[in-house]
Structure formats: structure tokens, C-alpha cells
Amino acid sequence: MIGRLNHVAIAVPDLEAASNQYRHALGAKVGAPQDEPDHGVTVVFIELPNTKIELLYPLGEGSPIQSFLDKNPSGGIHHVCYEVEDILAARDHLQSTGARVLGDGTPKIGAHGKPVLFLHPKDFNGCLVELEQV
């Protein structure tokens, strides 16, 4: 059911330092910061030949990234995102296997302007999983 790895998201305590590290030390193509107020994050996209990396930094009060950084002060992998062709069919199938979908189960529009859902990390080996319809 799942297709390509769309991105790996990494929460970072210093967005400018992390961007510069990817740009200069790792030699990657690094975009400009984008505020995503609906998700409580500022995102920097990094284009790799086969996938993307998203650097996540807290935006506003009650950002989910702030609580993640409180537990992981030096940052860490926050989630992985897999592509699906039909997000509602994927949701229904996953729920039929007992997997929990976060929120009310209705897809939200994600950082790429496409519908996304998140799956409970406790159901996926401690890893928050995002599904994106492509």
C-alpha cells in the first residue's frame, strides 16, 4: 500500500545552524524557512536525489515540536512520511488492523499542499508515521 519515502522530518533546536550544516557541511540543496501556523512549525525543506528532509522548528504557543524538543533537547527524528495513492482507503485499512490515526481521522492539508494523516507512534515501533496522498 505505501509507496515512496516522501520525507524524513527532523526536529532541530537551531533552524539556522541546522540549515547551514546541511547546506555547507553536507552540500545539500536547502530551501528557505516556511512558517506553517496550522501545524505549529517552521519548516526548511532539503531536496535529496531520492527523498526530502524536513527540518522542523517550533512556531507559536503549544507547538508539538516544542514538546518534542523539551524531551530531546539536541533534536531528533520526529517522523517519517510515506506516500499513498488514496489516503482515505489507507486510513480505513489501517484502522481495520487496529492502528490508531491521530486527531479525528480527517486528513489535513500538509506542508506540501496535499492531504496528510498521522499514525500513533506506539502502534509503529515508537515512530510517528505520516501518510501523504500523492
* Binding residues vs Co ion (CB under 5 A): 9, 81, 130
130 has catalytic annotation: yes
Query: CA–CA separation, 124 vs 40, rounded Å?
Result: 23
For residue 95, the 8-state DSSP code is H
Least gap, CB of 27 to Co ion (angstroms): 23
Cα angle, residue 23 at apex, residues 19 and 29 outer, rounded to 5° = 105
Question: 129-133 and 115-119 as β-strands: parallel, antiparallel, unpaired?
Answer: antiparallel
Identity of the residue, 9 or 84, whose beta carbon is nearer to Co ion in the bound complex: 9
Identity of the residue, 98 or 109, whose beta carbon is nearer to Co ion in the bound complex: 109
| Residue from 54, 83, 130, 132 carrying the catalytic annotation | 130
Q: Which residues pair with 133 in a beta bridge?
A: 84
Identity of the residue, 94 or 111, whose beta carbon is nearer to Co ion in the bound complex: 111
**Residue 72: Cβ within 10 Å count:** 13
Least gap, CB of 50 to Co ion (angstroms): 16
Least gap, CB of 99 to Co ion (angstroms): 18
Q: Which residues are marked as active site?
A: 130
